[in-house]
Structure 1
Amino acid sequence: MACMTDTGHLSESAKKLLKSIEKDNLTAQEISKKVGLPLFKVRSSLREMEELDLVVKDGDKFKMAPRAKEYFG
């Protein structure tokens, strides 16, 4: 699941994932349940978004990075 489109925008699934952690720090398992995506896709997306500085990992939980809010203008 690619998080960015060819035009440099967030994919719809990436937006859904980021919105799920906008206010609450959640584990990959909790995010998977909340957004209804398979755990392996959530983990893959989280790794990609962490590399893009869109999410921050704190222990086993993830939260939206400040930079990610730029994509929700």
Structure 2
Amino acid sequence: MACFTDSGHLSESAKKLLQSIEKDFLSAQEISQKTGLPLFKIRSSLRELEDMELVIKEDNRYKMASKALEYLH
């Protein structure tokens, strides 16, 4: 799942993922359950978003980084 469109905006699924972890640290499994997106897509997206410093990872749990807010609006 590509997190960004060709025009450089967040994909709808990436927005959904980030919004699910805006306030709480969640595991990939919890994010999948909360968003309804397949776990393999969540894991792939989390790696991409982490590389771009848009998510924070602690003990295999993820939370949206403040930097991601600029992409959500």
Q: Which amino acid aligns with 1:36?
A: G
- Whether 1:35 and 2:35 are equivalent positions in the alignment is yes
Q: Distance in 1 between matches of 2:67 and 2:59?
A: 20
Listed as ranges, the gaps of 5+ residues in structure 1 are: none
Structure 1 residue 21, shift from structure 2 partner: 0.1
Kindly tell me the number of residue pairs found equivalent between the two proteins. 73
Identity of aligned residues (%): 68
SS across alignment from 2:47: helix
Q: Which amino acid aligns with 1:55?
A: V
Q: Distance in 1 between matches of 2:72 and 2:13?
A: 13
* Superposition CA RMSD, Å: 0.6
Aligned residue in 2 for 1:47:
47
Q: Distance in 1 between matches of 2:23 and 2:29?
A: 17
- Aligned ranges 1:1-73 → 2 under 5 Å: 1-73=1-73
Structure 1 residue 27, shift from structure 2 partner: 0.2
